Structure 1
Amino acid sequence: MENNNLKTAFRSLKKDRTFSLLNLAGLSLALFCSLMILLWIREQKSIDNFHNNGKDIYIIYENLHVEGDINSSYRTQGILAAPLKEKIPEIKEASNVAWLKDEPDRAIFKVNARQYQFETIFADSNYLKILSYPLLAGDPNKTLNSPKSICISESMAKALFSDPNKAIGQIISYDGKKDLKITAVFKNQPPEASQRFDCIINWPTFLEENTWAKDWGNVGTNTLVMLKKSADPKLTAKKIKHFVDTYVKPDNHYRITLGLQRYGDSYLHDKFENGQISGGKIQYVRLFRLIALFIMIIASINFVNLSTARAVTRAKSTAVRKIIGASRRSLIWNYLTEAFIVTLLATLIALFAVAAALPGFNQLTHSHSYIPGKDPIFWAKLILLVLLTSLAAGLYPAIMTTSFKPIVFLQKTLSVNKNSLIFRKGLVVFQFVLANLLIAGTVIIFQQIHYIHHLDLGFDRNNLIELPVTSNIASKYEAFKNKALQINGVQSLSKMGENPTSVGSLTFGVSWPGKNPNDKIMFNNAAIGYDFVKTLKLHLKAGRDFSKAYPSDTVGYLINEAAQKVMGLDQAVGQPLNFWGHQGSIIGVLKNFHFSSLHDPINPIIFYYGENKDWGNILIRVEPSKTKVVLTSLEKLYKNITGGAEFTYTFSDDDFNKMYQKEQLLSKLSGYFSFIAIFISCLGLLGLIIFAANQRTKEIGIRKILGARVGSILKILLKEFAQLIFISIVIATPLCFYLMQKWLGGYAYRIQIHWWVFLIAGCVSVIIAFFTVGYQTLKAAVANPVDSLRSE
């Protein structure tokens, strides 16, 4: 019986080649897109979920309750881990880490007079007990257990000593500050690790360099904990919620609470709202999962439409099979077998296409997706997808087609069932609603990305080079600055403790005369050098920049308009200001500029003197047409001054773009998938117009004999489809407006959605659809009526 079903199904597919190819093309394309998306989602969900004790590993997040507002982040106190482990019995291990959720430091290491740069983080001795980075050499009980210990990666060990086993016990110089002993070599991190680094330096070294981290009033580092197997995470979260109250006394204006989040979830769920985890990258995962579903629905609708449209042409064969004894069940199985064969062939085609396209897709998405050939769960899901798609595409046509009585077929009185026709039209409307949603949504996303990249940030991020301040250059900064300014094409040079497009440091340690001592106002802050305003091309509202001509500027401060507003100062310049216990005065007020993501409003910020600080970035403004020449000269100068150290740099514009990689990815992929969705929809339209033209061949012939022109016949054939597309546009417009308003709500600075966006989306779908069916319609309209009426 099964063999007979297969033969019948193949015979039917071969007979109706046009419809079979249209179905195969639509399903192949849909499955290709869906598989690409699902593999990307699989890769995203695997990040930080490879650790052996993953279910028990948690990251601490901190809620700062200030004047009724809650500011949440993963930044915690640098001395939090040890007291947590000591006082909370459910915690098995705890570790302070810097920087788990931020970019690692790029430190200089010296071995045998040769210098190297490696990405560096800091952690205490429990770190490698919590996270699963297998050791290739060294004693796991002695890693990072002394103030002079360092653990390095396999690649770093090979770069320095050619063999990981030779690295153990070796002494290397760190940033010219101290010598460190290698106590362990860990295996290189897998692609699933969110944080990339080459080595881990002991925590006491970090505290020596960053004394602020010893104060319970300052936050900035991260804290990881591993719970005991018997521990209840919810109960543990309640116990640690007010843990910091012992060290930082709360009041009605300010308090700190702690929360627990499984570390494996923190990559995708990294946004907070009112002290609770509320989203993050998971929103993009959900969105692309929805797009994959949309595309599969559109392709399945094509299958259903084309199959039900073919019901009339297959009527006689179905009737004959019923009369000679075929049961309805066997006929339904035959249709489902046919759907399964098409879906299976489409899946095989899609798999080959995915294998070929994955390298380019990974480059586009900055991911490491792959076809997991040895993962039975993946193949089980793929088989389930094939079965569900076959069922979704084949069940309704099978039931509908086999429901007719044989006598109706054989008497040639069969007409298209009205309910079937309405259902088919509804499916066409539905698939074009989805296609229009994707088109309009893509246009709005593109507009927002364009708005971000062309918004006046209040400073010029173009032609701005950033050199990291390492130990090689820190002590020689003045000499480097003086010679760099003599290079043709260098306009100005300054220094900044952070990245100008992403200032993350926060503090409450700001006071001024008249401030309510109970008020807790949070300020961003950054150290800057001379000529900062000039180099960034900022705009001064009042006062001046830091200047060597004023020695008192070493205790002077620059603030922005937002800071002046929260301070309530009409005339801020000259007013006294206390920052971290250092008394000084305000020397200038900057017009507001964006120093963080456009998702956030502009916060108060204070800039303090940092010309002599040994961290941060050197900022160099160059003439637009001389960037390449300047970089060559800067590299030569840098190596001469530092004794041949590696010259590394970034562009401020690139740093800015990195902040919006997710949005750029969304824009690109949405564009591709929108085109594919409309293309698949048009494949279905093409099949339906072919069917409609074939069904009305004789009608068209008679109309032409009676004098009807080609234009009027085209109008008759296209009118129905035009109405369906118009209805889909009317439905999609308000739905898309609502969804995109919610997405734009995540930006403090965003575009307004205009009506013409939906007009463009509608016109695009109409034009593409009509180009798709136009040729076939015209072919039917200009056909010789003699050919269509000859049989009569």
Structure 2
Amino acid sequence: MLKNYLKIAFRNIARQKGYAFINVLGLALGIGCCLLIMLWVMDELSYDRFHENAGQIYRIEQDQFYSERTFHVNVTPYPMAQGCKDEIPEIKYATPLPSPGTLLCRYGEKAFFEQNVLAVQPDFLAMFSFAMIRGERDNALQQPHSLLITREIARKYFGEEDPLGKVLTVNNQYEFTVEGVLENVPSNSTIQFDMLLPYGFLKDLEFGSLESWGSNSIVSLVQLHENTDVAAVNAKITELRFRRVEAVYQDDPEGLERFQKRRKTAFMLMPLTDIHLHSYFGYTQSMGRILYVYVFSIIALFILLIACINFMNLSTARSVKRAKEVGLRKVVGAARRQLVLQFFGESVLLALLGMALAFLLVALVLPEFGALAGKDFSIKDLYQLRFLIGMLSVTLLTGIVAGSYPALFLSSVRPVQVLKGTLTSGRKGSAFRKVLVVLQFTLSIMLIIGTIVIFYQVNFMQSKALGYDKAHLLYIPLRGDTAEKFDLLKQELLNEPRVLQVTGSGHTPSHIGSNTSGFDWPGKDPDYSILISVNAVGFDYVETMKIDMLEGRSFSPEFPSDTANAYMVNEEMVRVMGMESALNQRLSYGDDDGTIIGVMKNYHFQPVDRKIEPLALYVNPKRLNYMVIRLQAGDIPAAIEAVESTWQRVIPAYPFDYHFVDQDIDEMYRGWKDMGALLNYFTILAILIASLGLFGLASFTAEQRTREIGVRKVLGASVGQLVLLISREFAKWVVLANLIAWPIAYYVMNNWLQGFDYRISLSWWIFVASGILALVIALLTVSYQSIRAALANPVDALKYE
């Protein structure tokens, strides 16, 4: 019996090749898109869950309460981790995760800059499940200059040699002995590193604030004992910080009062497994990467719905053509149960063929998709049991629902109705198909609108005026003792004709990350607190960056006092100070009084999606971590070669390393650009799937109205009138879909745009253009079948049926 069902099913599929192709391809594309997106979503949800103790590990975070807004940070004072372990019994292990910066590492003739380095406490290895493949885990990182490296780093420096006991020279002065080799860190780990050093090495590097409870600089992680009350630990951490600060100011009650007014803080723990998806930093509580997960999960659902709707629509439409077959089968003795099984079997078989084709398509495009999404996917990821069960369930459900109309309705008709020609498909079936088509295009139009809005928002951020000239501007990190030769290097570079200007900065030009609430000025309310960004710079900073001045002057070596007590501020700082003009006003930090010598126009020193914050610049040669250079336009490669030659002549001990500011800025928005690119592809596929369904449905509609078209043509109707007759009905469906999609898309995209301090407006043309595009696509899809039906010989049409 089963063999007979399959034979009949394959025979029917072969008899209607075009319909079967459209149905299988549409469903395959929909399932394929869903597979790709769900692979990405499952990878995002898997971050940090491979650690054995993941459920007990937390990152210490804090809310800082200022007069105008609350500022959220995920960094702490340096002593926080150890202090928590020592004084809070609920905490089992703790480790800070500071980076000692980029280190120059040498082994023999091999020398590389290593950026992905962490300085940790021994507890780190007890907390996390990073696999050690060489060495003794229990005794690692106990010695001052011990070192753990990953498998990749071991191969990079030592090749096939045994790395244990080998010595790496760091920054040309420290010797570290390799104690162990760890497996390469998984890509789905929030904590990424190539090397682990003892935390005590920071003292060798003379890191400031190692004992300070007033600054916030590093990530701190703790592991709690099982069944610990997290809220109680939050309160204890907050109280611990208060006690430690109180002890610092025990002889200065006024200083303690000022500190508490400026820095009202509440600490809290964030679960390790939430960090990747829910982290945020700053004034705006953004959703983090979980937003991407929601967006692409909805897109996957939309595309799968569109594909399933197609499948059901075409299946129910074509089933009407099989009414005579059902009547004849009943006449020759077929039971209803047999007919039900036959129709369900055919529908499920087509759905399974679609799923098989989907897996084949996904296997073909998986490498390209992984590269675009920044993931390292492999074919084996497709064969996860829960993944296969989920896709198979969706496929079977689609096949069963699509087969339900012919299986339940046609199998119940009386043979006499069919054989006399009195059976009609009924208005309910036609109305149901119309509803499904409207829903399809509603979802497609929403995707089109979302794609356009994201494209223009990202383009707006990238093209927005920064307030300085990013072109031909590069910076060189000053590592180790290279800063000691800053003045000599600057002078030598200025002798190069292709170098226009040179200055220094504590931070990269596109991202100043330091801030403080410690500034005072005349007339400031003692209870008023606000965070102010600060940056140490060199002379000629404003001129090199090409920042416009509003009043006053920039820092100059002609004024020796500029290195001691001078500040430059931006417009936003003047607004915060509540002054018409801040020029020559006093600006104090702690016990150090300074004077504002110049006011700059606001410029973007952080990502463009953030509001410009108040900024104060000061000169301090000892805090310059970067050399910033403006090159002459023209032959940039020759200019870089000249800079490199000068660097190697002045600082031969360190390899030359440089970065362009405009490339940094582009990198800031890579995530949004990648998201936009993926959305483009999936939107195009959604439209293609909907169009395939519409093409098949238009073919069915034209076939159903063959006799009507023949009669109208005999009575004098033109080809254009006949095309309009068929196309008009589909056009109405698309127009209705627009009316449904527009308000929903407006609400969703307007909420999304609220997360940006600088954003585009939702113009009416975006919605109209999306609607027109959907309408044109629909009409072009339908027109082929309409024109074909209109051009048919009316004699053949009148013979129909």
Could you say which TM-score interval applies, normalised by the shorter chain? over 0.9
Residues 1:319 and 2:327 are matched in the alignment: yes
Residue of structure 2 in register with 1:154 after alignment: 151
Q: Distance in 2 between matches of 1:391 and 1:232?
A: 49
> Secondary structure at 2:65's aligned position in 1?
strand
Instruction: Say yes or no: does 1:228 pair with 2:251.
Output: no
Partner of 1:605: 615
Moved more, 458-467 or 1-10: 1-10
Q: Does 1:175 align with 2:166?
A: no
Is structure 2 residue 723 aligned with structure 1 residue 714? yes
- Contact kept in structure 2, 1:173 and 1:179, CA below 8 Å: yes
Q: Structure 1 residue 367: deviation in Å?
A: 1.6
Gaps of 5+ in 1: none
Match of 1:364 in 2: 372
CA–CA distance in 2 between the matches of 1:784 and 1:134?
A: 75
Q: CA–CA distance in 2 between the matches of 1:517 and 1:597?
A: 31
Q: Deviation of residue 436 (structure 1)?
A: 0.4
CA separation of 1:182 and 1:728: change in aligned 2, threshold 3 A: same
Match for 2:58: what amino acid?
A: Y
2:598 partner amino acid: G
**Secondary structure class of the residue paired with 1:471:** coil
Distance in 2, Cα, partners of 1:534 & 1:195: 39
- Listed as ranges, the gaps of 5+ residues in structure 2 are 247-258
Q: How high is the TM-score relative to the length of structure 1?
A: 0.94
Please tell me whether residue 196 in structure 1 is matched to residue 196 in structure 2: no
Q: Would you say 1:728 and 2:724 are equivalent positions?
A: no
Q: Which residue of 2 aligns with 1:96?
A: 96
Q: RMSD value over aligned CA atoms?
A: 2.4
Q: Does 1:656 align with 2:665?
A: yes
User: Aligned partners of 2:338 and 2:748: how far apart in 1?
Assistant: 45
Pick which of 87-96 and 718-727 moved more. 87-96
Q: Determine whether 1:560 maps to 2:557.
A: no
Deviation of 1:44 after TM superposition, in Å, equals 1.8
Deviates most, 248-257 or 76-85: 248-257
Contact 1:243/1:258, CA 8 A, preserved across alignment: no
Aligned partners of 1:212 and 1:472: how far apart in 2? 20
SS in 1 for 2:556: coil
Offset at residue 11 of structure 1 (A): 2.2
Deviations 1:388-430 (A, max 9, x none): 3333443355434445443322221122311111111111111
> Structure 2 matches for 1:649-728, cutoff 5 A?
649-728=658-737
1:403-418 mapped onto 2 (5 Å cutoff): 403-418=412-427
Residues 355-390 of structure 1: per-residue CA shift (max 9 Å, x gap):
221221122122222332563233233323322333
Q: Which residue of 2 aligns with 1:449?
A: 458
Give, in angstroms, the shift of residue 680 of structure 1.
0.8
Q: Is the 8 A contact 2:73 2:282 kept in 1?
A: no
| Separation in structure 1 between the aligned mates of residue 241 and residue 674 of structure 2, nearest angstrom | 40
SS in structure 2 opposite 1:520?
A: coil
The residue type paired with residue 181 of structure 2 is V
Question: Do 2:315 and 2:347's aligned partners in 1 also have CA atoms closer than 8 Å?
Answer: no
Judged with a 3 Å threshold, the aligned counterparts in structure 2 of structure 1 residues 461 and 390 are, in CA distance, closer, same or farther, namely farther
Secondary structure at 1:498 match in 2? coil
Decide which moves more: 656-665 or 421-430.
656-665
Q: 1:331 aligns with which of 331, 339, 348?
A: 339
Contact in 1 for aligned 2:59/2:270 (Cα 8 Å): yes
Mapped to 1, the partners of 2:401 and 2:568 lie a distance apart of: 64
Alpha-carbon distance change, 6 to 318 in structure 1, aligned in 2, over 3 angstroms: same
Letter in 1 for 2:180: A
Kindly tell me the number of residue pairs found equivalent between the two proteins. Answer: 785
Give the Cα–Cα distance (whole angstroms) in 1 for the partners of residues 800 and 45 of structure 2.
62
Partner deviation per Cα, 1:204-241 (whole Å, 9 max, x = no partner)? 23255322242111102001111223434455445445
Percent of pairs with identical residues: 34
Judge conservation of contact 1:213–1:220 (CA < 8 Å) in 2.
Answer: no
**Structure 1 residue 514 corresponds to structure 2 residue 523:** yes
What is the match of residue 264 of structure 1?
A: 273
Secondary structure of the residue aligned to 1:643 is coil
Contact (CA 8 Å) 1:304, 1:397: kept in 2 or not? no
* Counterpart residue number, 1:582: 592
Q: Secondary structure at the match of 1:519?
A: coil
Query: Distance in 2 between the 1:141 and 1:580 partners?
Result: 45
Please name the residue that 2:292 is paired with. 284
**Which position in structure 2 is the counterpart of 1:531?**
540
| Equivalent AA in structure 2 for residue 623 of structure 1 | Q
Cα deviation for residue 19 of structure 1 reads: 1.2
Question: Are the counterparts in 2 of residues 470 and 614 from structure 1 also a CA contact under 8 Å?
Answer: no
| Structure 1 position 59, deviation (Å) | 1.1
Q: Deviation of residue 464 (structure 1)?
A: 1.5
| Mean CA deviation greater in 639-648 or 35-44 | 639-648
* 2:262/2:517 contact within 8 Å kept: no
Per the TM alignment, residue 49 of structure 1 is displaced from its structure 2 partner at its CA by 2.5
219 and 327 in structure 1: CA distance in 2 versus 1, 3 angstrom threshold? farther
Amino acid paired to 2:533: N
Residue correspondence of structure 1 range 384-533 to structure 2 within 5 A: 384-471=393-480, 473-533=482-542
**Cα shift readout 1:646-681 (whole Å, capped 9, x = no counterpart):** 322222112112222221122111111111111111
- C-alpha distance in 2 between matches for 1:642 and 1:403: 90
Does the aligned pair in 1 maintain the 2:326–2:411 contact within 8 Å?
yes
Query: What is the rounded CA distance, in whole Å, between the counterparts of 2:283 and 2:101 in structure 1?
Result: 31
- TM-score of the aligned structures, taking structure 2 as reference length: 0.93
Q: In 2, Cα distance between the equivalents of 1:263 and 1:538?
A: 41
Deviations 1:263-292 (A, max 9, x none): 1221111137999x7621011111011101
User: 1:144-171, CA deviations, whole angstroms, 9 ceiling, x for partnerless residues?
Assistant: 3344333222332333333574343x44
Quote the offset at 1:533 in angstroms.
0.7
Deviates more, 1:431-440 or 1:633-642: 633-642
Alignment-mate amino acid for residue 292 of structure 1: A
Aligned match of 1:25: 25
The alpha-carbon deviation at position 743 of structure 1 amounts to 0.6
Q: What is the CA distance between 1:514 and its match in structure 2?
A: 3.2
- Please tell me whether the aligned partners of residues 560 and 604 of structure 1 are also in contact (alpha carbons under 8 angstroms): yes
1:42 aligns with 2:26: no
Deviates further, 675-684 or 379-388: 379-388
Looking at structure 2, the residues matched to 121 and 216 of structure 1 have their Cα atoms a distance apart, in angstroms, of: 21
Structure 2 equivalent of residue 184 of structure 1: 180
Q: 1:224 is matched by which residue type in structure 2?
A: L
Matches within 5 A, 1:624-643: 624-643=633-652
Report the equivalent of 1:245.
Answer: 242
For residue 252 of structure 2, what is the aligned residue in structure 1?
none
How far off is 1:242 after superposition?
4.1
